[in-house]
């Protein structure tokens, strides 16, 4: 059974820092891994999708990497800003049709 | 462009009452549709998904059911709510079979009294 773990559970950093969020999964047979952002009381916003054949994806200040063999992904946020404060969730599609299994998330606070 | 609508945004219901949450998608055809629940202190859990009208797959046994009466309409229902049904319910859509991003609605906060 696929399980997804995110470390750390919470993170507080000063503005301008570069930071790394970690995600691990137990079964390497995945179609893709996705990173989402969730603001308090809101739905999820898709950030990046990495297919199983890819090693990384970039969007603006965000870079996500995937090491399928070791069951790990990282989300790198460059030059963090207070507007980046949110919960970041990673999810894997193991069964196709985008049936996602989520981690519990990392709650990020970026203070001025 | 595609949009997804969920309503209501918040709902307070007594134990034992029925439930109907609705989700509609605009701007795309034959989407895959999903219902997730986010319980307090826990991650998102997939409840139901649908790849077409009338095709519903349940991922976890529970007190809830789902229906897809139209291509872009997904409904989550219960005949009798339990206290454990409280949570944040999210509808989502994607297209194709694999490797497409999933897009979420703004969610419904359901409190059971």
Which among A44, A47, A107 is the top mutation candidate for probing chain B, defined by the most B β-carbons within 10 Å of its own β-carbon?
A: A44
Q: Is A98 helix (H, G, I), strand (E, B) or coil?
A: coil
The C-alpha of B100 sits at a distance from chain A's nearest C-alpha, in angstroms, of 7
The C-alpha of A81 sits at a distance from chain B's nearest C-alpha, in angstroms, of 24
* Cα–Cα distance measured from residue B50 to residue B48, given in angstroms and rounded to the nearest whole number: 7
Cβ contact, residue pair B43, A97, below 8 Å: no
Q: In B, which residues are within 8 Å of A9 by CB distance?
A: none
Q: What is the mean pLDDT for each group of 10 consecutive residues in chain B (113 residues)? A: 92 97 94 93 89 91 92 96 95 88 95 95
* End-to-end CA separation in angstroms for chain A: 41
pLDDT of residue A64: 98
Does the pLDDT value for residue A110 go beyond 90? yes
Cβ contact, residue pair A32, B45, below 8 Å: no
CA angle centred on A48, ends B25 and B71, rounded to 5° = 15
Write down the mean pLDDT value for chain A: 95
Cβ contact, residue pair A103, B101, below 8 Å: no
- Is the CB of B58 inside 8 Å of chain A's CB atoms? no
Token representation of residue A101: 């299994």
Q: Considering only alpha carbons, which residue of chain A is nearest residue B94?
A: A98
**Which residues of chain A from 36 to 95 reach within 8 Å of chain B, CB to CB?**
36, 41-46, 49, 51, 89, 91, 93
- Is the CB of B102 inside 8 Å of chain A's CB atoms? yes
Q: In A, which residues are within 8 Å of B43 by CB distance?
A: 4, 89, 102-105
| Portion of chain A with pLDDT greater than 90, in percent | 93
Does residue A26 or residue A1 have the better pLDDT? Answer: A26
Does the pLDDT value for residue A30 go beyond 90? yes
- Is the CB of B109 inside 8 Å of chain A's CB atoms? yes
Could you read off the pLDDT of A56-93 as tens digits, one per residue? 999 999 999 999 999 999 999 999 999 999 999 999 99
Q: Which residues contact A67 (CB under 8 A, 6 or more apart)?
A: A55, A73
* Cα–Cα distance measured from residue A67 to residue B35, given in angstroms and rounded to the nearest whole number: 29
């Amino acid at each position: 059974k696929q399980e997804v773990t995110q470390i750390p559970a919470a993170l507080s950093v000063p503005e301008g820092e570069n930071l790394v969020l970690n995600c691990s999964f137990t079964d390497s047979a995945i179609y893709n891994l996705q990173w989402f952002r969730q603001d308090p009381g809101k739905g999820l916003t898709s950030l990046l999708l990495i297919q199983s054949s890819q090693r990384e994806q970039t969007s603006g200040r965000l870079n996500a990497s995937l090491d399928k063999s070791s069951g790990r992904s990282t989300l790198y946020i460059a030059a963090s800003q207070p507007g980046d404060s949110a919960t970041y969730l990673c999810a894997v599609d193991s069964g196709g049709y985008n049936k996602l299994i989520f981690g519990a998330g990392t709650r990020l606070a970026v203070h001025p | 462009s595609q949009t997804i609508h969920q309503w209501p945004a918040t709902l307070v219901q007594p134990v034992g009452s029925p439930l109907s949450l609705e989700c509609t998608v605009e701007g795309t055809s034959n989407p895959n549709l999903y219902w997730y629940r986010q319980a307090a202190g826990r991650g998102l859990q997939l409840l139901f998904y649908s790849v077409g009208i009338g095709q519903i797959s349940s991922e976890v046994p529970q007190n809830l059911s789902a229906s897809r009466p139209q291509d872009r309409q997904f409904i989550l229902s219960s005949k009798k709510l339990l206290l454990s049904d409280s949570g944040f319910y999210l509808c989502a859509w994607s297209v194709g079979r694999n490797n497409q991003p999933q897009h979420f609605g703004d969610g419904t906060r359901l409190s059971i009294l």
